[in-house]
Amino acid sequence: MPSTTAVPPPAKMSEHDATQAVRAGVAAGTPVRQLAQTTGWSVGWVSELAKEFRQTPGAAAEEQHPPAQRSGDELEALQGCVETLSGLDAPGRRRILRYLGDLFDGS
């Protein structure tokens, strides 16, 4: 005869820990239902959080590993780029920014 004892649900993680787990799960491609079971949070909550992380793909990595402080040379070069961009017409700036966005989104 099968056991009538129900298996208790996993303990619910703190919101902070669950957020970190969902962030890592989204990066690893873990299904939402599995993340909900792992964290103890509802599928709806996990789904909404996962959607946010998917909409801002770089945000997860930046929060875990903030960018290193920039050197003076890098900042100077960046300032030169900004000045050059400000001299272009609006469509030219958009094309360059779209190109750079596509280039760095793939990294």
Is the pLDDT assigned to residue 30 strictly greater than 70? yes
Give the residue with greater pLDDT, 58 vs 35.
35
Residue ranges with strand state E in 26-105: none
| Confidence at 65, pLDDT banded by 50, 70, 90 | very low
Between vectors from CA 29 to CA 41 and to CA 16, what angle results, nearest 5°?
A: 35
